[in-house]
Amino acid sequence: MKYYDLKGTDLKVSNVALGCMRINSKSVEEVEALVTAALDAGINFFDHADIYGGGKSEEIFGEVLKRNPSFREKMIIQTKCAIVPGKRYDFSKDYIINCVNESLKRLQIDSIDILLLHRPDALCDPKEIAETFDELHQSGKVRYFGVSNHTGMQIELLKKYAKQPIIINQLQLSVVHSVLIDAGLNMNMVEPYAIDKDGATLDYCRLHDILIQPWSSLQASWADGTFIDNPKYQKTNDVLASLAEKYHTNKTAVSLAWLLRHPAAFQPIIGTTSLVHLKQALEAEDFELTRQEWYDLYLAEGKPLP
């Protein structure tokens, strides 16, 4: 497993992270086996959110930590808050602090390493957020802060008042959902791919040393699910199969290697609950795609190069 220093922190993080969204469907014993396998493989970064499984994902993870207290010192634990499912996004001070307190109880830990604001709140008051970050940091409940699904300008608004740096932006990105990349390649063109849908967020994060964590790194969309072996994405799967054969690996590993090949140093979130799939995914660490292979995958479904 490769590691790197996370800018703006004293943390050394694994090249990939384990996402815990779906562990609510598993027993404590099954999650314990998954977490143990991840740690044994060198993964030290675990991603949560208060809404995953309605809080049950954090609860199960907390039971694993209770059974294995030594695991905590090997882990960087990240969680997210601010989504009230189906109702609103909420960056109010009371709401965020209550979310943190509840996550700490569920996870059975004293401090969260990184807290992300899950999705932008249209009614956010950056001064109030700065006060919230200060209180959480000074109390020792949260060490570092970041965001998820935020544009560069939304981050700038938070940074105007917050003393703590924004160190992470978690964003949807995969070989078939490459909105972060498309507009940059097609700048000044009239085609739809030239439309800037995110305010050059990729470039912004690179300029400001903000780590991008791709989520749904094996997903096409909520409707289509994974693109792996999905007949709707046959051309991509044909290229994946060819590269998997060349590197003696599997399509999942090649898909993650496509993300790891980017010089922005993405940290993909692996959202599996399967020991087999986890092992397959980690084979992405064993090889590096060539520049042409990266573009072959990008272009597989007909995206243009102007």
Tell me the catalytic residues.
Answer: 52
Do 42 and 1 contact (CB within 8 A), yes or no?
Answer: yes
Of the chain, the end-to-end C-alpha distance in Å amounts to 37
Interatomic CA distance for residues 219 and 172, integer angstroms? 9
Cβ partners under 8 Å of residue 70, min gap 6: none
CA dihedral (232, 24, 216, 272) positive or negative? negative
192 contacts: CB under 8 Å, gap ≥ 6: none
Residue for token digits 């997903």? 219
Amino acid letter, 4? Y
> Tokens at residue 122, please?
């249209």
Closest CA to 121 of 139, 144, 101, 96: 96
Q: Which two tokens stand for residue 56?
A: 């049950």
Residue given tokens 């300008």 in the structure block: 153
